[in-house]
Amino acid sequence: MTGYWIAAAALLALPGSAAEQKLPGWMAGAWCTEGPATDRTCEYWTPDSGGLMIGASITTKGGKAASFEQARIAPVDGAPVYFASPEGGPAVQFRAIESGPASITFAKPDHDYPQRVRYWMEGEVLIAEIALADGSKPMRWQFKRVG
């Protein structure tokens, strides 16, 4: 029985495993897609503060707000969970399924769309993608830091 617990502890300690995932502090800041302020999407993320990151996004089209989302990332049972509240609706929870030094993927396979939410850095660009669990029907945003 002791060998089982040692093996289980070793699996939980693997880099990127749910037991070790930290909040994605590298996402903190103000980010906008390129283009005029009248037609773009911006996301804002607070730094990890006591185990909580608060986020918000707004999309403008033709100079008018077209959509918005309130979000937060907080640990639940040792793994980060992304709580998304599009248009101020009830929060949908996406649990982190993998992470790296500058990437994190959240999933909720039983949700209609999206089922997967991914964030990662490519150089100085923050990329966000939503998709079905298998990666189909992706929507992607490339953000540059602002302000």
Pairwise CA distance, residues 52 & 23, whole Å: 8
CA distances from 82 to 23, 34, 63, 94 (A): 10, 25, 29, 5
Residue 64 has what pLDDT? 96
Average pLDDT score, the chain = 88
Predicted confidence (pLDDT) per residue in 29-80, tens digit: 999 999 998 999 999 999 999 999 999 999 999 999 999 999 999 999 999 9
Q: How far apart are CA 90 and CA 92, in angstroms?
A: 7
The rounded Cα 54 to chain-centroid distance in angstroms is 11
DSSP result, 9-25:
HHHHTSTT-TTT----G
The domain of 133 spans: 2-145
Task: Look at residue 10 in the predicted model and tell me its pLDDT.
Answer: 31
Cβ–Cβ under 8 Å, residues 32 and 42: yes
> In this structure, what CATH number is given to the domain that contains residue 13?
2.40.128
For residues 121 and 95, the answer to whether their CB atoms sit within 8 Å is: no
**pLDDT per position as a tens digit, 70-127:** 999 999 999 999 999 999 999 999 999 999 999 999 999 999 999 999 999 999 999 9
Which structure tokens are listed for 66? 């077209």
Q: What is the pLDDT of residue 46?
A: 98
- How many domains in the chain? 1
